[in-house]
Amino acid sequence: MSRDAASRYEIPGQLQQLLLDFTVSCLVERPADLVDFAADYFAQLRQRRQEQTTVQQQNQQTGGLVAGSAAHGNGHGPESDDSMLTDESDEPSPESLANRFNRRKSVFAESYDPEGDDDEGEKVVHPKSDQQRHRLAEAVKNIFIFRSLDPDQVQDVLDAMFEKTVDSGDYVIRQGDDGDNFYVIDSGAFHIYVATETEPTKRLVGQYEGSGSFGELALMYNMPRAATVQAMSHGSLWAMDRTTFRRIILKTACKKRKMYETLLETVPMLRALTSYERMNVADALNPRTFEDGECIIRQGDAADGMYFIETGTVRIAVAGENEIEVEVSRVTKGGYVGELALVTHRPRAASAYCVGPVRLAFLDVQAFERLMGPCMNIMKRNIDDYEDQLIRIFGSRFNMSDFR
Ligand code: 1OR
């Protein structure tokens, strides 16, 4: 193409991002009919844009919806859904809840600096009975955000937590409020609701059943609460005040979320997770490094987890009935290995070796089961590809289980 022609074909600014997003959606969704998929994809995109424009116009006319005011959700009785959003004219900043949430995302992505945080504060001790201490130790055992703490820090955390009981209908956290405590569930069921600009009536987005933790986002990123959490039964929580959370947990957890943020965004499969769910995966990941030629996974072994590839190349080899290994594929950055045995609950179906030095992020089997549910269909579709490859190479799918 001549220089003249090139200057006549100016590439619109949005084109690259638009096509990239579309391509990634195709790779993740693997539609049977690309044209139908494209038509739906772009129609939805246009509809979302129209909805956003309408809401923006309404907000400009009304001054916008504002979040329910200062009442921290500390166990007031049940209220109607509409109580979450009120039109209070004395609210300092007339932003919608959705805007607040979007602002939080950009803070996470760009400007939070745990190193620069010097929020030190005093050590807090809430005395506890032996029975309470025992229950607390059980409750925090599976909280990923605590896993990178050293034993002294764990001790400080246990000292600082205090018990809080709730009744069915109590609001523990209200979206839009300032963050006071971080909570670990001891018992009880809790619903998570989110209101957005396009859907101002709060919508149920998830729930906790007797375990888990919540309330870390507002404390980590110094932002308003991103969701509402309401007790659905009588229950008990372990709470940690904001200062202790920031003093002990913040730096480690934030560093880890930041460290894995880019990795998690470059793994196409994980687009099936919400950004909040991806952060939970970041809490659960652990770094593993290997040298050239090292074996990461051995065919026939029991499976303890899966690996995401941060840097380097991993060679996958399968030994057929004659025990001779044949290379079947190579996986690089953005890819993953070791998920198959976790999905099929069978021994490792192939071996994985490093080609040069390799850095991986390891997700153990318990975390896999708790966090990767939304990616299961994508993984199962990829397993169909493995089967096709095996049939091509060996003439049979001899070591794949019937996982369906
Ligand atoms: P927080 O301090 O913002 C509300 O207070 C808490 O609810 C929040 O921290 C999280 O700990 C928890 N999006 C945002 N926050 C959530 C979500 C969530 N789920 C639990 N929390 N989503 C649901 C993902 C299954 C995404 C909704 C779009």
Task: Tell me the pLDDT tens digit for each residue of 75-116.
Answer: 222 233 333 332 333 332 333 444 444 433 333 333 345 555
For 354, counting Cβ atoms within 10 Å of its Cβ (0-12 exposed, 13-18 middle, 19+ buried), the class is buried
Task: Give CA–CA dist 398/299, Å, rounded.
Answer: 13
Which ligand 1 atom sits closest to the C-alpha of 227? 4
Which ligand 1 atom sits closest to the C-alpha of 206? 25
Q: Kindly list the strands in the beta sheet with 162-166, ordered across the sheet, starting from the edge strand earlier in the chain.
A: 162-166, 235-241, 181-187, 213-214
What residue ranges of the chain have pLDDT lower than 50? 55, 58-112, 401-404
Share of the chain above pLDDT 90, in %: 40
Cβ proximity of 22 and 38 under 8 Å: yes
Q: What is the DSSP letter of 11?
A: P
User: Which pLDDT does position 56 carry in this prediction?
Assistant: 52
User: How many Cα atoms occupy the beta-carbon half-sphere of 284 within 13 Å?
Assistant: 24
- Please report, as a single letter, which amino acid is at residue 270: L
User: Which pLDDT does position 69 carry in this prediction?
Assistant: 25
Q: How many angstroms is it from 243 CA to the middle of ligand 1?
A: 20
- Residue having the nearest C-alpha atom to atom 18 of ligand 1: 276
Q: How many angstroms is it from 70 CA to the middle of ligand 1?
A: 19
Cβ proximity of 163 and 186 under 8 Å: yes
Q: How many angstroms is it from 228 CA to the middle of ligand 1?
A: 8
Place of tokens 């096509």: 19
Extract the runs of DSSP E, i.e. beta strands, from 276-386. 286-290, 295-297, 305-319, 325-331, 336-337, 351-364
Task: Give CA–CA dist 285/279, Å, rounded.
Answer: 10
- Residue having the nearest C-alpha atom to atom 16 of ligand 1: 227
Q: How many angstroms is it from 120 CA to the middle of ligand 1?
A: 26
- CB neighbourhood size of 116 (10 A): 6
Query: How big, in percent rounded to 5, are the helix, strand and coil portions of the chain?
Result: 45, 25, 35
User: Which pLDDT does position 259 carry in this prediction?
Assistant: 86
Q: Is 277 in the pocket of ligand 1 (CB under 6 A)?
A: yes
Cβ proximity of 353 and 315 under 8 Å: yes
- The contacts of residue 128 (CB under 8 Å, 6+ apart) are 136, 163
Task: Give CA–CA dist 142/137, Å, rounded.
Answer: 10
* Angle formed at CA 200 by CA 194 and CA 202, multiple of 5 degrees: 35
Task: Give CA–CA dist 285/370, Å, rounded.
Answer: 13
Which ligand 1 atom sits closest to the C-alpha of 224? 3
For 284, counting Cβ atoms within 10 Å of its Cβ (0-12 exposed, 13-18 middle, 19+ buried), the class is buried
- Residue having the nearest C-alpha atom to atom 8 of ligand 1: 215
For residue 184, the cross-strand partners are: 213, 238
User: Which pLDDT does position 401 carry in this prediction?
Assistant: 45
User: Which pLDDT does position 308 carry in this prediction?
Assistant: 95
Q: Is 274 in the pocket of ligand 1 (CB under 6 A)?
A: yes
Q: Is 218 in the pocket of ligand 1 (CB under 6 A)?
A: yes
Tokens of 305: 């987890």
Q: Is 220 in the pocket of ligand 1 (CB under 6 A)?
A: no
In 3D space, the residue among 399, 95, 145, 381 whose CA is nearest the CA of residue 283 turns out to be 145
Q: Is 225 in the pocket of ligand 1 (CB under 6 A)?
A: yes
Q: Is 103 part of any known ligand binding site?
A: no
For the CA atoms of the chain, what is the radius of gyration? 24
**CA distance between the termini of the chain:** 52
Q: How many angstroms is it from 282 CA to the middle of ligand 1?
A: 15
Look at residue 385 and give its three-state secondary structure: helix
User: Which pLDDT does position 312 carry in this prediction?
Assistant: 96
Greatest Cα pair distance in the chain: 81
User: Which pLDDT does position 41 carry in this prediction?
Assistant: 78
